[in-house]
Amino acid sequence: MREVINDEYGLSIEQTEKIGEYDTFLFKNERYMIVPVEQRTSEEVNELYQMGMYLHAKGDLSVASFVQTKTGTIIAYHQDRPFVVLRIYPHVYTRTIPMGKELAKLHEQGRHFPAYVAHCKRIGLWKELWGQRLDQMESFWKEKIKMPREAEFEQLFIESFPYYMGLTENAIQYITDTELDEQPYFVDSATICHERIAHTLWAEGREVKLPTDWVYDHCARDLAEWVRALYMKEGRSDDEQIRHFFREYERLTPLSAFAWRLIYARLVFPLHYFECIEGYYSTNKEEERHGREQTLRIILANTRNYEQFLATFYDRLELVRRFRLPTIKWLSPA
């Protein structure tokens, strides 16, 4: 990799350090990060480059900037695997501003992004993407039913999938009803969001934002995924932390009924279940498979508690005082 970095970028690796899952290096008192982009198309990376330039121009210096190769491209290759180099703060420090407030600021600026986004766009596509994901997993499930059970995980998957298929169908229908019932406002415009906010260095408290983490979507994506990640980490609902998060967010950007219903729909969609199943079958490493099996057991054991969390979500945030927001009727509190 040292030779590739030098040949492609003209940078010499003087000192290395691991930040999160990424390799970083120093060169002439500047810190650079090497980020794989195998899950991204070149068109997406070009759009992310433009978003990063835009936020830099708006004064957000915590956004890492893409470094171009000597030939002017953004993507380079090492052993046929694409990667980018990002320039970040020489010293990554801990964020002191509340997460909700900082996220609201990012979304507010992102809503004014002036360029057309085609390849990173996810807004308005949730129903379609969830439906495709469900169809793929249902086909896979039907094949697994016909085969001998090779592991305990497979038995758990076969038994649990019909329930999560129904939950996914509920989430898709909830979005359909929201689009019919509610009027979107400017806050519901597309903005710069994260593919998975919980997986970012920034969410961990380090003050660095990587454009490679982004998509162009409704702010509800980040808000719901932050809540989901907190719930999965704690194994329960930390109501006070959730209320504080949304209070800080809404000090800058009050949310509409349309936005709240999208947050709810996304929490109903069992993304954590899908990612657990997909992660298990996409790896051959026993340690990772064992971890996925443990995660699945926790998800299944916590099913009733999560139902209660969904059934009372609007009440926990005291939203009934502001809006008339329907829950899914079969989900009922204890």
pLDDT single digits (tens) 5-35: 988 998 988 888 888 889 999 898 889 999 9
Q: Report the pLDDT value the prediction gives residue 14, as an integer from 0 to 100.
A: 85
Q: Report the pLDDT value the prediction gives residue 2, as an integer from 0 to 100.
A: 80
Low-confidence ranges of the chain (pLDDT < 70): 90-95, 205, 332-334
Q: Report the pLDDT value the prediction gives residue 128, as an integer from 0 to 100.
A: 97
Side-chain-side CA neighbours of residue 36 (13 Å): 10
Exposure string over 197-225, b if 16+ CB within 10 A, otherwise e: bbebbbbeebbbbbbbbbbbbbbbbbbbb
For 126-321, CATH gives 3.90.1200.10
Q: Report the pLDDT value the prediction gives residue 94, as an integer from 0 to 100.
A: 67
Q: In the structure encoding, which two tokens stand for residue 178, read together?
A: 């929201």
Q: Report the pLDDT value the prediction gives residue 73, as an integer from 0 to 100.
A: 94
CB atoms within 10 A of CB 104: 24
Q: Which residues pair with 17 in a beta bridge?
A: 24
Q: In the structure encoding, which two tokens stand for residue 196, read together?
A: 């998975």
Q: Is the pTM of this model over 0.85?
A: yes
For the chain, residues classed under CATH 3.30.200.20 are: 2-92
Q: Report the pLDDT value the prediction gives residue 90, as an integer from 0 to 100.
A: 66
Determine whether domain 2-92 maps to CATH 3.30.200.20. yes
For the chain, residues classed under CATH 3.90.1200.10 are: 126-321
Query: Pick from 272, 225, 206, 194: which is nearest to 22 by CA?
Result: 206
Q: Angle at CA 192, nearest 5°, toward 328 and 101?
A: 75
Q: Report the pLDDT value the prediction gives residue 92, as an integer from 0 to 100.
A: 61
Q: How far is CA 161 from CA 7, 142, 172, 290, in A?
A: 49, 10, 16, 19
Query: Pick from 11, 34, 44: which is nearest to 88 by CA?
Result: 34
Q: Report the pLDDT value the prediction gives residue 93, as an integer from 0 to 100.
A: 61
First-to-last CA distance in the chain?
56
